[in-house]
Amino acid sequence: MLTNIAPDHLDRYDSFDEYAGTKASIFRWQTPRVDFAVFDPGDPLVKQLTYAAPGQWVLYGSGYRPDLKPDVWVEDGEFWAAWEHEPVSLGSVDALKIPGEHAQRNALAAAAAALAVGVSVAEIRRAIAGFTGVTHRLEPIATINGVTWINDSAATAPSAAIAALRAYADRGIIAISGGYDKRLAMDDVAEELARSARAVVLLDGTVTPQLIELLTARGVEPVGDPATSMDEAVARAASLARRGDVVLLSPGCASFGLFRDEFHRGDAFREAVLRLAEGAS
């Protein structure tokens, strides 16, 4: 399964093309009669990397048109599948508890793979409705005085942080961002922060000065100096948040410097928020 391709890990690869080619090698040794290649043909970059995939193609996407007929798609607020039978509903999109268009696309990909290996429609419908997410990916930690705290520490690339910001676009967002430089362009995430976040708190790191410059150029002044601990970042975010807001840790960067990895960073956020909740009670 190839869900998407966006610049990442360019501190380890010579170019985006080399990185993308490595990711596409997941399909290299497939055989047509045994294996399945699950991807979205509506994504130009994914399509480019999968056009020669030898496995049986299982397609998913958001449209259902004569020129693009995925096996699993979204239409009229429902997940649909047409895998070796007439179209059948996999349930309402609203049944998915994880917010954001990217979560819907992940559900489509998972449903496509499940259908390919023989999981029943009824089981897929129950799984979509029952899925509550995974640790460090849009993970709700607590609601404190009407403010929701979300751990998305696994967002270590700009594209992931942008998806998270868009998932909460209807809420006031206090964003916690910044960190280690993976040689990725930060312009798009700075643009989304400027558009979607009511306030930005930055973590100290090698890419943070660049992010400050990009935000300032867009008329956004991060609140205070870059935080040198998660407790500091959480306390500052708490002082800015209003009832109904979301405090979103979705850095769009790696964590090295302040933390061992993104999971250590997410755990530190969870612990700081839970201490805040204890104090509030």
- Asked if residue 201 has pLDDT above 60, the reply is yes
Closest Cα partner for 180 from 217, 159, 149, 211?
211
60 confidence band (pLDDT: 50, 70, 90): very high
**Cα(200)–Cα(192) distance, integer angstroms:** 11
- Asked if residue 269 has pLDDT above 80, the reply is yes
Residue 15: exposure state from Cβ atoms within 10 A (0-12, 13-18, ≥19): exposed
Instruction: State residue 65's pLDDT score.
Output: 52
Q: Strands 173-177 and 147-151: what pairing?
A: unpaired
- Asked if residue 208 has pLDDT above 60, the reply is yes
- Asked if residue 63 has pLDDT above 80, the reply is no
Q: Which residues pair with residue 73 across a beta bridge?
A: 61, 80
Structure tokens at 23: 């990711």
**Cα(8)–Cα(197) distance, integer angstroms:** 23
Gyration radius (Cα) of the chain, Å: 20
Instruction: State residue 43's pLDDT score.
Output: 86
- Asked if residue 42 has pLDDT above 90, the reply is no
**Cα(81)–Cα(112) distance, integer angstroms:** 8
Strand ranges inside 129-235, DSSP E: 139-144, 147-151, 173-177, 197-202
Strand order in the sheet with 197-202: 139-144, 147-151, 246-249, 173-177, 197-202
Instruction: State residue 7's pLDDT score.
Output: 87
- Asked if residue 203 has pLDDT above 80, the reply is yes
- Whats the size of the chain, residue-wise? 281
- Asked if residue 64 has pLDDT above 80, the reply is no
Work out the number of other CB atoms within 10 angstroms of the CB of residue 201.
26
47 confidence band (pLDDT: 50, 70, 90): confident
**Tell me, what amino acid is at 129?**
A
Domains delineated in the chain: 16-130 (3.40.1190.10), 139-280 (3.90.190.20)
pTM of the model: 0.89
Q: What is the mean pLDDT of the chain?
A: 93
Strand order in the sheet with 72-75: 36-39, 56-61, 72-75, 78-81, 88-92
Instruction: State residue 193's pLDDT score.
Output: 98
DSSP reduced 3-state for 73: strand
Query: Average pLDDT for residues 125-149, to the nearest whole number?
Result: 97
Q: Which residues pair with residue 65 across a beta bridge?
A: 68
- Asked if residue 68 has pLDDT above 70, the reply is no
pLDDT tens digits, residue range 82-121?
Answer: 877 788 999 999 999 999 999 999 999 999 999 999 999 9
Instruction: State residue 67's pLDDT score.
Output: 59
